[in-house]
Chains A and B, each alone.
Chain A
Amino acid sequence: MTKLLEIRNLKVTFPTDDGDVKAVDGLDLTLNSGETVALVGESGSGKTVTSLSVLGLHNRNTTRLSGEILVHTQSGSVDVNSAPDEDVRALRGKEVSMIFQDPMSSLHPYYSISNQLSEAYRIHNDVSKQAAFNRSVEMLEIVGIPEPAKRAKEFPHQFSGGMRQRVMIAMALINNPRVLIADEPTTALDVTVQAQILLLLRNLQKEFNMGILLITHDLGVVAGVADQVNVMYAGKVVECGKVDEIYYQPAAPYTMGLLSSIPSVYGKGTGRLSAIQGQPPSLINLSNGCAFEPRCSLKTLVTNANCATDKPLLVEDSAGHFARCHLDLATRKIYGQKVAAKGIN
Chain B
Amino acid sequence: MEPLLKVEQIQKHFSTRGNAIFGSNKGVVKAVDGVSFEIAVGETLGLVGESGCGKTTTGRTILRLLEPTSGKITYEDTDITKLSTKAMREFRSKAQIIFQDPYSSLNPRHTVGKIIAAPFEIQNIEPVGGVKSAVQEVMERVGLNPEHYNRYPHEFSGGQRQRIGIARAIALRPKFIVADEPVSALDVSIQAQVINLLDELQSEFQMSYLFIAHDLSVVQHISDRVAVMYLGKIVEIAQTTDLYAAPHHPYTKALLSAVPIPDPKLERSRERIILKGDLPSPINPPPGCVFNTRCWKAQDICLSQAPELLQVGKSSVACHFPE
A–B contact at 8 Å CB threshold (below): yes
Beta-carbon contact of A276 and B189 below 8 Å: yes
Beta-carbon contact of B260 and A42 below 8 Å: no
B90 within 8 A of A: no
* Shortest Cβ gap from B241 to chain A (Å): 9
* Shortest Cβ gap from A18 to chain B (Å): 14
Beta-carbon contact of B188 and A42 below 8 Å: yes
Chain B, residue nearest A263 (CB):
B221
Beta-carbon contact of B51 and A224 below 8 Å: no
Beta-carbon contact of A217 and B275 below 8 Å: no
* Shortest Cβ gap from B254 to chain A (Å): 6
Beta-carbon contact of A223 and B263 below 8 Å: yes
Beta-carbon contact of B274 and A196 below 8 Å: yes
Given contacts A192-B50, A273-B221, contact A220 B259 (CB under 8 A): yes
Chain B, residue nearest A161 (CB):
B51
Q: How far is the CA of A279 from the CA of B159 in the complex (A)?
A: 8
Given contacts A192-B254, A196-B274, contact A279 B190 (CB under 8 A): yes
* Shortest Cβ gap from B158 to chain A (Å): 8
B295 within 8 A of A: no
Over the window 180-195 of chain A, the binary record of Cβ atoms lying under 8 Å from chain B Cβ atoms (1 yes, 0 no) is 0000000000111111
Beta-carbon contact of A162 and B278 below 8 Å: yes
B255 within 8 A of A: yes
A243 within 8 A of B: yes
Please provide the chain B residues from 15 to 56 with a CB less than 8 Å away from any CB of chain A in the complex. Answer: 50-51
Beta-carbon contact of A263 and B263 below 8 Å: no
A237 within 8 A of B: no
Please provide the chain A residues from 205 to 225 with a CB less than 8 Å away from any CB of chain B in the complex. Answer: 217-224
Collect the chain B residues with CB atoms within 8 Å of residue A221's CB.
260
Chain B, residue nearest A217 (CB):
B188
| Cβ-defined partner of B217 (8 Å) among A190, A194, A259, A263 | A263
| Cβ-defined partner of B258 (8 Å) among A195, A244, A261 | A195
A120 within 8 A of B: no
Chain A, residue nearest B219 (CB):
A263
A277 within 8 A of B: yes
Q: How far is the CA of A258 from the CA of B189 in the complex (A)?
A: 6
A270 within 8 A of B: yes
Beta-carbon contact of A344 and B187 below 8 Å: no
Please provide the chain B residues from 260 to 301 with a CB less than 8 Å away from any CB of chain A in the complex. Answer: 260-268, 272, 274-275, 278-279
**Which A residues are closer than 8 A to B by beta carbons?**
42-43, 160-163, 190-196, 198-199, 217-224, 243-244, 247-248, 257-259, 261-267, 270, 272-277, 279-280, 343-345
- Interchain residue pairs with CB less than 8 A apart (18): A190-B50, A190-B51, A191-B50, A192-B255, A194-B260, A195-B257, A195-B258, A198-B260, A218-B260, A220-B259, A224-B267, A244-B264, A261-B189, A265-B217, A267-B221, A270-B221, A273-B221, A276-B193
